[in-house]
Amino acid sequence: MRICSMFAALLLVSGSAAQAGELTYQPTNPSFGGDPLNSSHLYQGAEIANTFKDSSLDSLFTQPSAADEFASALQSALIGGAASQITDAIFNNGAPSSGTFTLDGATVTYNTVGGNVIVNINDGVSTNTLTIPVP
């Protein structure tokens, strides 16, 4: 009898413990509807966890020296002068209908076809093609 009463008590206790309420989801991140007071805590945790520092971004925020600016301007002027000479060589009266120029590892080839000049510029990595109508 004692075993039956213990078994009955166990069934009553386990039967009442099996009840559950409705589960609801509450987001943590305020960007997704969570508590707005969590934003500073989440940001601070992300900053502490972020140990990566991109050193390539440092050069974006430093001012180039006067020597660097001069070298860049000189390089632009030289390339512009070479481009002007190549343009003159291609479009002058009596210029050959095709030719090749090499400048600092880049190869410029041109060929006159009909009323157009087709210019290919190959830098060893990629090739750009320009079709220019002859005036």
Task: Please state the domain count of the chain.
Answer: 1
Asked if residue 36 is part of any domain, the answer here is no
Structural domain contains residue 126: yes
CB within 8 A of 100, min separation 6: which ones? 107, 108, 109, 110
For 124, the domain range is 69-135
pLDDT tens per residue across span 52-78: 777 777 767 778 889 989 999 998 998
pTM of the predicted model as reported, rounded to 2 decimal places: 0.46
pLDDT by residue (tens digit) across 19-44? 678 888 888 877 787 888 878 888 88
Are 121 and 130 in contact by the 8 Å Cβ rule? The answer is yes
CB 36 within 8 A of CB 30: yes
Evaluate whether residue 123 is within a structural domain: yes
Residue 10: inside a domain: no
